[in-house]
Structure 1
């Protein structure tokens, strides 16, 4: 049985979101609402697709329920 993929760190999640929406990673705190910095559902799907390719099981509804770096870090760990 293959090992579970390593969970992305909060900084990796922050960097991915920053690249996706075109903002500085420093502008995104762990508790920043990612929708408030411009994240749309299409962006979330792009991020989800990358995480799924890496072996993570994640759904849009779960990310949308707590759209913060901290929430996503907990979800993906």
Structure 2
């Protein structure tokens, strides 16, 4: 396997990115947190998707994440 293969995101990194976007500490979020209810908006979601796709995570898709904005589900999709 070369280093050019798809990179998977680390769950802690995803959690840290989401917490930073919300302006909270990662420990304040639970897997049941609805991220839209917590204050995440579509613009910040698009920014996160771009960041994660640039990091080599093609599974980071706006439509998929927006449809189910629950932290635990996002972690399962982004950092299985």
TM (norm. structure 1) is 0.84
Q: Is the 8 A contact 1:13 1:69 kept in 2?
A: no
TM (norm. structure 2) is 0.82
Give the match for residue 75 of structure 2. Answer: 73
Q: Tell me how large the CA RMSD over aligned residues is.
A: 1.5
Give the match for residue 33 of structure 2. Answer: 32
Segment drifting more, 13-22 vs 34-43 = 13-22
Give the distance between the partners of 2:70 and 2:10, measured in 1 at CA. 14
Does residue 63 in structure 1 map to residue 65 in structure 2?
A: yes
Give the distance between the partners of 1:19 and 1:55, measured in 2 at CA. 20
The alpha carbon displacement at 1:5 in A equals: 0.2
Runs of 4+ in 1 over 6 A off after TM superposition: none
Give the distance between the partners of 1:22 and 1:73, measured in 2 at CA. 18
Segment drifting more, 23-32 vs 38-47 = 23-32
Gaps of 5+ in 2: none
